[in-house]
Amino acid sequence: RVSNLVACGAAGGIAATFNAPIAGVIFALEVILGGRFSVRYFSSVVVSAVAASVVGRVVFGDIPGFVIPFEYGINSLWEFAFYPLLGVLAALLGVFFVRLLYASEDLFDDWKQVPEWFKPAVGGVLLGALALAYPLAMNVIQWHRMPQVFNVGYDIIETVLANQMALAVVLALLVLKLIATSLTLGSGGSGGVFAPSLFMGAMLGAAFAMTVNLLFPEAGLLPGAYALVGMAAVFAAAAHAPITAVLILFELTGDYRIILPLMLTVVVATLLAQHLLHGESIYTLKLTRRGVRLQKGRDIDILQSVLVKEVMTHNAQTVPLDMTLSDLVDMFARTHHHGFMVLDERGKLWGVVTVGDLEEALEKGKSLDTKVEGVGTSWPHLKVAFPDAPIGETLAQMGARGLGRMPVVSRDDPYHLIGLIRRQDMIQAYDLALTRRAEIQHRTKRLEESHAEGAEFVEIFLNEGDKVVGKTVQKAAPQFPPDSVLISIRRDGRLVVPHGSTVFQPGDHITAFVRTEDAEKLFHCLHG
C-alpha cells in the first residue's frame, strides 16, 4: 500500500508540474513500481495523475511545458548515423551525473564534524560562489548576467530549441548545471533530478549538433532537434526509464514529429547506461549502497544471500565409472536416490547418472552388463555449481534445465567433487535466508528505535591488509561497537548478507548501521 501511494504521489506530481499525465502514469509504473503494470496499481495511479493534471491545468493553463518554434524531423537519412552517437554521449553524461551526485553526497556525509543542518548551508554557500563566477564566465563570451543554472531552466531550454544559443554558452551551462545540481542534492538541499536531466540533455544535444556542424558544415544539423532528443536520452540514461523518456518529451513539447530518432537514441542511451551502472539507476543506487538490491522494483530474491556451500550435501554418494547397469539398479533400489555422481579411476568427477538415464537405457534394450559410462551425462554437457555461487543463481540454472541435482566442484579444479546440491536443499536455503533477514531487520529496528536521531548507515571499503581481511564475521564481531549491524557486503558485483561464517575479503563494500558516535570506532575495527 505504501509503494502504491508513493507511485500515486509521483504520478500526480509529474502530471501537475509538467502538464504530462500520461508520462506521470508511466513514470510511476516504470520507475517507482518497477514495471508492475497490473490493474491494481494502474487504476489508482491513473486516478491520481488525472486529478492532479486537472487541477494543474486550471491553475497554470493547458499549455505544453515547452514551445517548439520549428517543425523538427529528419532532413536526411544520414542523420540516423548521428543520433546513436548522441545516445552514447547521453549515456556517458547520465552515468557521470549519477557518479558525481553520489560522490558529492559521500563527501558531505564523510564530514562528521558538523551537524546535519549545517551541510545544506555549506552547499548553499558553494552554490552562491558558483553564481558569482557565472556572470564572469558569461561576460567573457558575451552573455547576459543571469544565473540560469539556478532555476528549473525551461526558458533556457526553449532558447536552445529555437537555435538561439552559442556553443560556448551551451557547454558552460551544461557544466555549471551539473555542478550546481550535485552540490545542492549532495549537501542535503531540496531538489530532484528530473528537470536537471532534461536541462543537461538539451544542452548536450545542442552542443553535439553544433560541434558536428563545425566539423562537417555540409551536415546541416538543427541543434534544436538534437536538444529535443538529448533531453529524453539523458533522463533515460540516468533513470533507466526509456518509455517515460519518450512519452514525457511528447507531452512536454506536444510534438510527435521526431519519434524515430528519439526512440533510437533513448534505447542506445538506456542500454549503455545500464551496462555501465550495472543495472542501477539514479533512483535505485542509494538503496543498493544501503544493502537493498532491487530487481524490477522489488527486493531481490533472498536466496541470492545464501551460498551453495552453506546448504550443499558434503558427502555425496558416488559410483565408479565401470559400474554395470545391473549393479546400478541395485544401488538405486537400496538407497532410494534419484541420481549419483560418477567418478573415474582417478577419483575425479566424470559426470552424473540418474534414474531417468537408467530407464532410458533399459527402454532402448541395452544390456544390464553395460557400463555407467555408456548411459550417464559427462563433460562437456555436465552442468556444475560452485561452492561460492548464490543459491538463487544455481536454482535458476537447475530450473531452466529441469535438473534435480548438480555436482558442486572447485573453481580451481572443476573435476574435483566437493559435494552435491539438490532441490530439497533449497528449502533449507530459504529457511536460512529468512532467518538471517529477520535477524538483521530486528536488530536494525531495535537500533533505530533506541537511537532514532543518533544512528546512521555507513559504507566501508576493505583493502588488502586491513585488520579484518581473512577473518570471519564471528571472529571479528566481538571488537565491533555495541548494537552495530552489518547490513550487507557488495562483493564482485553481487550482494552477500553477512553471517558468522562470512569471511571478509579485499574489495568488499560493507554497509553497516551504527550509532553516529561509534562510526569511527567501527571504521577502526575493520581497517585497523
pLDDT at residue 71 in the model: 67
pLDDT at residue 204 in the model: 96
Query: Looking up cell 533522463, which residue turns up?
Result: 235
Q: Which residues pair with 421 in a beta bridge?
A: 406
Q: What is the pTM of this model?
A: 0.62
Query: Looking up cell 533506541, which residue turns up?
Result: 450
Contact 294, 240 (CB under 8 A): no
DSSP state of 246: H
CA–CA gap between residue 524 and residue 501 (Å, rounded): 21
**193 is written with which cell numbers?**
533530478
Contact 308, 337 (CB under 8 A): no
pLDDT at residue 444 in the model: 60
| CATH number among 3.40.718.10, 1.10.3080.10, 3.40.50.360, 1.10.3810.10, domain 79-298 | 1.10.3080.10
SS3 324: strand
- CB-neighbour burial class of residue 221 (10 A; exposed 0-12, middle 13-18, buried 19+): buried
CATH 3.30.70.1450 maps onto the chain at 451-527
**Thinking of the domain 308-427, which architecture would CATH place it in?**
Roll (3.10)
Neighbours of 169 (CB within 10 A): 22
Examine residue 390 and say whether the peptide bond preceding it is cis (omega within 30 degrees of 0). no
- CB-neighbour burial class of residue 310 (10 A; exposed 0-12, middle 13-18, buried 19+): middle
CA-nearest of 178, 203, 193, 205 to 262 is 205
CA–CA gap between residue 386 and residue 223 (Å, rounded): 53
CATH 1.10.3080.10 maps onto the chain at 79-298
pLDDT at residue 502 in the model: 83
CATH 3.10.580.10 maps onto the chain at 308-427
Q: Which residues pair with 220 in a beta bridge?
A: none
Sign, CA torsion 189/190/194/195: negative
CA–CA gap between residue 81 and residue 79 (Å, rounded): 5
Radius of gyration of the chain (CA): 29
pLDDT at residue 254 in the model: 65
Residue partners of 97: CB distance under 8 A and separation at least 6: 178, 181, 182, 193, 196, 197, 200, 234, 238, 282
Fold of 451-527: Alpha-Beta Plaits (3.30.70)
pLDDT tens for the 528 residues of the chain, in order: 677 888 899 889 888 887 888 888 988 888 877 766 777 788 899 999 999 999 988 888 877 666 676 667 677 778 889 999 999 999 999 999 999 998 898 888 777 777 878 888 888 888 888 877 766 655 544 444 455 556 677 788 888 888 888 898 899 889 989 998 999 998 888 778 888 999 999 999 999 999 999 998 888 888 988 999 999 999 999 998 898 898 888 777 666 778 889 999 999 999 999 999 887 888 877 766 655 554 444 444 566 667 888 888 888 889 998 899 899 899 988 888 888 999 988 889 998 988 888 888 888 888 888 888 888 888 888 889 998 888 878 887 887 777 788 899 998 888 899 998 887 787 777 777 777 666 666 666 665 565 556 677 788 888 888 888 988 888 888 888 887 888 778 777 666 777 777 888 888 888 888 887 888 888 888 887
Query: Looking up cell 513539447, which residue turns up?
Result: 253
CA–CA gap between residue 181 and residue 473 (Å, rounded): 39
Q: Which residues pair with 298 in a beta bridge?
A: 295
